[in-house]
Structure formats: structure tokens, C-alpha cells
Amino acid sequence: MRKSHSVYDAESSVLIGALSKDDDLLTGILRQCELHGIKAGSFSCIGSLKKISYMKLKHEKGALSYTDPIYEAKPVELLTGTGFIGTKEDGSLDIHCHGVFIDETGAISGGHFIEGGNKVAITIEFTVAVVSNAVVKREKDPDMGFRLFNFYGKGGLPEWKQ
């Protein structure tokens, strides 16, 4: 069986690869980034999933939050997945992904994908646009109450924090 694999082109700062059957969409992309020492970037992907887990944004009583996780054990085509790669406050890799998918009935849906719950059916092909001169760090935003990615220049603060 074909294994998940990737190639990093340093000249273009792009990682390109594929995940194999039963790999997880998000942990699989993170693992390929780890193999190449990638700490920050944006990514896009397409392919097929045999089960999905995601959340949707909701607005209730004047506040924004997410739904409880939605788990579906059905095959879908991932029409588009996109997101960011950065680090958690402890320095480990983190990923933020939103995707749109279609099931066998033609129903289209999407949302915020949950790491560890999106198993590849046949393949996922992906690219990562690697960023070398920036730090992307997920931090708790005290005003919003969410953990959000902040984007720093090497050694500096984001403009809005200055």
C-alpha cells in the first residue's frame, strides 16, 4: 500500500504531498511538516475522507461560539480544505482547517475540521506554502475567548500589539 509522503522544494518554499488511506487529514499534514522542519505556513488540500469531524460557527444569545463536534461516518469528497500551520504556546505544531465537502447524495456542507477525526478514504493531496521569516503562534485571545493564530515577524510583535 502507498504511504503518505511529501517533497519540500526549498527554492519555491512549497511542500507538496499526499496522505494515504486511513491517515488523518490534519495530523497527517502536521506529520509531513514535522518531517521537513516546517513551523509555519498556509495549506490547501483536496481528496476523499471516509469519516469526518467538524464544528460550525453559531450565534446564540448575542455571543459567537461553535457547535458541539459533529461526527459523520460516511464517505465524502473534500472539495477544498484550507488553513494555517503554526505552533501552540508550548512550541508544538498546531493546525487550523476549514473545509467544504460533498457526500454521495450531492449534499454540500463544511466547517471547522477537528484534528484526529478525519480519516482518508483514498487520498488527500496537499500543498503547504512555507513561511520562514515569521512566527505563527496560537494564543488565547482574552477578549474573544478563543485560541487564535497571531502572526509575528522574527523577534517582533504583531502590529496591533505594539
* pLDDT attached to residue 88: 94
Burial of 7 (0-12, 13-18, 19+ CB in 10 A): exposed
Predicted pLDDT of residue 98? 98
Decide if 55 contacts 114 (C-beta within 8 A): yes
* Cell numbers that stand for 121 in this block: 478514504
Domains identified in the chain and CATH numbers: 5-161 (3.30.1330.80)
User: What's residue 61's pLDDT?
Assistant: 87
pLDDT for the residue numbered 116: 95
Contact 120, 3 (CB under 8 A): no
Residue 32's φ and ψ, nearest 5 degrees, are -65, -35
Strand pairing partners for 112?
55, 98
**Spatial distance between the Cα atoms of 73 and 52, rounded to a whole number of angstroms:** 7
Q: What pLDDT score does 160 carry? A: 55
Set of cell numbers at residue 145? 475567548
Question: Residue type for 88, please?
Answer: K
Residue 126 bridge partners (DSSP): 17, 45
pLDDT tens string, the chain, 162 residues long: the values are: 789 999 999 999 999 999 999 999 999 999 999 999 999 999 999 999 999 999 999 998 888 889 999 999 999 999 999 999 999 989 999 999 999 999 999 999 999 999 999 999 999 999 999 999 899 999 988 887 889 999 998 766 665 555
Residue 27 φ/ψ, nearest 5 degrees: -65, -30
Residues 115, 26, 108: CA angle, nearest 5 degrees: 85
Task: Tell me how far apart the alpha carbons of residues 128 and 9 are, in angstroms, rounded to a whole number.
Answer: 10
If you ran DSSP here, which 8-state letter would residue 119 be given? E
> What pLDDT is stored for residue 153 in this prediction?
87
What per-residue confidence (pLDDT) applies to 142?
85
* Cβ–Cβ < 8 Å for 130, 30: no
